[in-house]
Amino acid sequence: MTVTAAVAPQLMVNPRLEILGGHRLSGELRVSGAKNSALVLMAACLLSTQPLRLRNIPPLTDIAAMGEILGAFGVKVERGADWIELDGAHLTHSTAPYELVNSLRASFFCIGPLLARLGVAKIPLPGGCQIGSRPVIEHVRGLKALGAQVTIDHGVVSAVVPGRGHRLHGGHIHLECPSVGATETLMMAAALADGETVIHNAALEPEVVDLASLLIAMGGKVRGAGTPTITIVGVERLHGADYAVIPDRIEAGTFLLAAAITRSELRVAPLIPDHLGAVLSKLEEAGCSLEADGIGMTIRADRIEALDLRTQPFPGFPTDLQAPFMSLLATASGTSMVVETIFENRLQHVAELQRMGASIRMQGNTAFVEGVARLSGAPVQGTDLRASAAMVLAGLAADGTTSVQGLEFLDRGYADLEGKLNSVGAVIRRVHG
């Protein structure tokens, strides 16, 4: 008699990347469209009754989530390999489901265009963030300046435009801090407002300029984007457009750092140097050679020297590349100082780098990084999107194998990162078991 034992169900194991370090990279890495820009440009479809076609859209989980949110408002969403078409002709809802908004903070941008188009919007407050708080008070204060009545009750922001026609009116808005999200929300709200809106202390980021360019392509009147003062003259209606998203400056920076940490030569394209000025300056200060060719950039790295950096709003050093750059500095000659000024919890990757042999001492929001001759492969956890990228970069340079978990974060901002890196000589595989 044969007794067959019951097979216990296997525990679900989160996928991870297994990285065999020590390989030089060579060739060319292609940069996808900018996630942080694409998400906002998608929200702009709410401003028009005509279709908006966006090209150079990266295949990311955050993009898919934004498509679901827009679909919940009644937008018709059609997706291709690198494009998306959004038809907001028949909006059916002015309220976003909590479970969708909670999964994607960028969905809060929808409150501006919804209010401008429909005169009413109800958006749950975004959930918490691993890297720190991102308050929406600037959005709310700005919308009130444009004539909206805004209340926050039980975690839901409700906004309505009183009066006949339910149309926002122009106004002067001074942002207490140059918030990218608030600047973008208010630009979209003002695009259909009655009269002129001036946003003072506006964010200078390239993504703000990209939104302004899209609004202009849709028939909007915007000037001053990329400066601290943006002026928007509202129009009666906006039409559709066919528009290409800018290259992702953070992905481009990550690829340049991949070359630097492996002491390799790589071409990264497409890339807009003006979008990465502070990062390129720091790479050159660290000893890298950079050569722009009009479309992309070739980086050559050999010996890396220590340096000091402090994150700042654009055009300063971007907080999104602080963690990846720290991985490079962990292999530099000398001691570097890294100061994080944007998010209060954006140094969680330090403990993971230490597991790989990095010599880092913490003092508040400052990390002192003493370069070591070699990092060692180890099991590490990416605690947020950019920390996950930092772990991948560290793994490329480490002795042995590095196992990186936290891919749910990585996949939100990098499309097939392991495939792209493998194409230039890295040895990475995604393990699901």
Q: How far apart are CA 375 and CA 355, in angstroms?
A: 9
How far apart, in whole angstroms, are the C-alpha atoms of residue 397 and residue 188? 43
Measured between alpha carbons, how far is 184 from 302 in angstroms, rounded to an integer? Answer: 40
Q: Per the structure block, which two tokens stand in for 331?
A: 């292999």
- Which of 226, 221, 174 has the alpha carbon at shortest distance from 200? 174
Nearest CA to 342 out of 375, 367, 378, 316 is that of 316
User: Is 288 an active-site residue?
Assistant: no
- H helix or E strand, kind and range, residue 113: helix 111-118
Determine which one of 45, 110, 129, 288 is catalytic.
Answer: 129
* Radius of gyration over every alpha carbon of the chain, rounded to an integer in angstroms: 23
- DSSP, collapsed to helix, strand or coil, labels residue 247 as strand
15: left (phi over 0), alpha (psi -120 to 50) or beta: beta
**Which CA distances in Å does 423 have to 35, 60, 255, 257, 267?**
22, 19, 12, 16, 12
Write the DSSP assignment of 26-78 as a string of letters: EEEEE--B-HHHHHHHHHGGGGBSS-EEEES----HHHHHHHHHHHHHT-EEE
CA 75 to chain centre: 23
For residues 91 and 81, the answer to whether their CB atoms sit within 8 Å is no
DSSP bridge pairs for 339: 310, 366
Residues annotated catalytic, as ranges: 129
